[in-house]
Amino acid sequence: MNIDLMRKVDYFAGVPLCALATPFVKLAGLFSGPHNQSPRKVLFIELSEMGSAILVDPAMRKMQTAANAELFFVIFKSNAASLRLLGTVPVANVFTIRENNLVNLAIDSLRFLLWTRKNSIDTVIDLELFSRYSALLTGLCGAVKRVGFHAFYNEGLYRGAMLTHRVAYNPTLHIAKNFIALVNAALSNQPEIPYSKTIINDSEIKLARAPVVESVMTAMRERIREEFPSYDEARHRIVLINPNASDLLPQRRWMPENFVTVMQDLLSKSDDLLVLITGAPAERYQAENLKKQVSHERCINFAGKQKLEELPALYQMAELMLTNDSGPGHFSSVTDLRTFVLFGPETPLLYSSLGNSTPIYAGLACSPCVSAANHRKTPCRDNVCLQVIKPEAVLSQLREALAQKQSAPNLKN
């Protein structure tokens, strides 16, 4: 389903369904166990954002450490590979929902409700920002303890009474810390209105590093040679360019011609650089168009040439990456790759990568124009917030980073 249709279904079907489900959920709550029991089998719900599967990882690891809990996860099928980067949740404990049409969505939703009961889920944490669909999954899954963001006195975003632990979403706090707040609420033995009255330090949102096997790196080098036969890892420095962003918010895309200018300049100034344009298999056609515009033998269309779980190996080989505000900016954070992320309709204060990342952000008066309150949908069709970021400003940062990287070995000697 396209994104706008999903939003309409979530609103026009989700609101009445939440209203209808509320009395049944309240009635079932009268016969359930105590809400302050320690979590044992904990389900996290994050459906639509691949990057959030990385941003929630510190929260999931805190739940493992604090409660010795077994973790489960439900996610849209098209996004499931993002969970395999760090492998915090066993593959057998991941439930995927097909979102390609309403029939499959309905069938998988019913299967999910059976799956949660089969696995005796006692705690569910809804990571979505006020989605009615995820609220229904939360309320009806049979868990005794149900944690999520609640609007309280804010306008709109009605989700019924699906939650036992209502957490105040903080729009001034990084989303990874908001996720930690949900876990803190689940671990709390004392009722609060609202949850979670806790201090969350920066040390709590440090990411683990993805393991990289040498055989995967060897295979990645061979794949690069298939596209560029003269590739020599001892000579060539790799720069990754990710010009894509998900259809959830196309306004996040920097202008293609700007990416072309950046790639042409980098290649013209350094004869040891190899530029790889990355992306999903479906994005290979657009990447090929950019490659043709760059018109340089060391510019390679690498879109679709690696599986998502192989990205850490590619990131470990590369010098740096330039990307739109999208999944790769978060995927690279499980490695030490220096990453530059272009922000526009969203703010790095809330969604910056947790890795070795530098946000590039103009900070217009209208930015950010998407939030939890507007279901991440903006009326803007003219993303000036990205248009005002010029190639030269980006290039100056990339050149400096490449120079620092090149001189680093000399500093160690």
Which residue from 166, 170, 156, 194 is spatially nearest to 14, judged by alpha carbons? 156
pLDDT reported for residue 63: 98
Claim to verify: residue 155 and residue 220 sit in the same structural domain: no
Claim to verify: residue 344 and residue 265 sit in the same structural domain: yes
pLDDT 10s digits, 309-363: 999 999 999 999 999 999 999 999 999 999 999 999 999 999 999 999 999 999 9
Q: What is the mean pLDDT of the chain?
A: 93
Least confident among 157-171, 244-258, 389-403: 244-258
Q: Which helix (H) or strand (E) holds 25?
A: helix 14-30
Claim to verify: residue 173 and residue 314 sit in the same structural domain: no
Strand order in the sheet with 299-301: 299-301, 273-277, 237-242, 320-324, 338-343, 357-361
Q: Please identify, among 156, 185, 205, the residue that sits at the C-terminal boundary of a domain.
A: 205
Q: Which amino acid is residue 193, in one-letter code?
A: I
Indicate the pLDDT class of residue 401, thresholds 50, 70 and 90. very high
Claim to verify: residue 140 and residue 272 sit in the same structural domain: no
Least confident among 117-121, 149-153, 276-280, 336-340: 149-153
Claim to verify: residue 73 and residue 142 sit in the same structural domain: yes
Domain span holding position 288? 214-412
Claim to verify: residue 146 and residue 248 sit in the same structural domain: no
Contacts with 278 (C-beta within 8 Å, 6 or more apart), sequence order: 240, 241, 242, 287, 302, 303, 306, 314, 321, 328
Q: What is the DSSP string of 305-323?
A: SS-GGGHHHHHHH-SEEEE
Q: How far apart are CA 376 and CA 129, in angstroms?
A: 9
Claim to verify: residue 291 and residue 391 sit in the same structural domain: yes
Residue 1 tokens, joined: 């389903």
Claim to verify: residue 179 and residue 295 sit in the same structural domain: no
Q: Are 210 and 86 in contact (CB under 8 A)?
A: yes
pLDDT 10s digits, 192-230: 999 999 999 999 999 999 999 999 999 999 999 999 999
Claim to verify: residue 34 and residue 128 sit in the same structural domain: yes
pLDDT 10s digits, 10-21: 988 999 999 999
pLDDT 10s digits, 38-55: 999 999 999 988 889 999
Structural domains of the chain, count: 2
Exposure on the CB side of residue 19, measured as CA atoms within 13 A? 7
Q: C-alpha distances in angstroms, 1 versus 105, 250, 371?
A: 10, 16, 22
pLDDT reported for residue 411: 45
Claim to verify: residue 242 and residue 201 sit in the same structural domain: no
Contacts with 365 (C-beta within 8 Å, 6 or more apart), sequence order: none
Q: Please identify, among 205, 238, 273, the residue that sits at the C-terminal boundary of a domain.
A: 205
Claim to verify: residue 302 and residue 399 sit in the same structural domain: yes
Is 35's pLDDT higher than 90?
no
Mean pLDDT score, 128-151: 94
Bridge partners of 43, per DSSP, are: 72, 124
Claim to verify: residue 160 and residue 222 sit in the same structural domain: no
Q: Please identify, among 169, 186, 205, the residue that sits at the C-terminal boundary of a domain.
A: 205
Residue whose structure tokens are 């918010």: 249
DSSP state of 239: E
| Percent of the chain whose pLDDT exceeds 90 | 82
363: left (phi over 0), alpha (psi -120 to 50) or beta: left
Whichever domain contains 295, its CATH number is 3.40.50.2000
Instruction: Report pTM.
Output: 0.92
Which residue from 29, 4, 47, 1 is spatially nearest to 376, judged by alpha carbons? 4
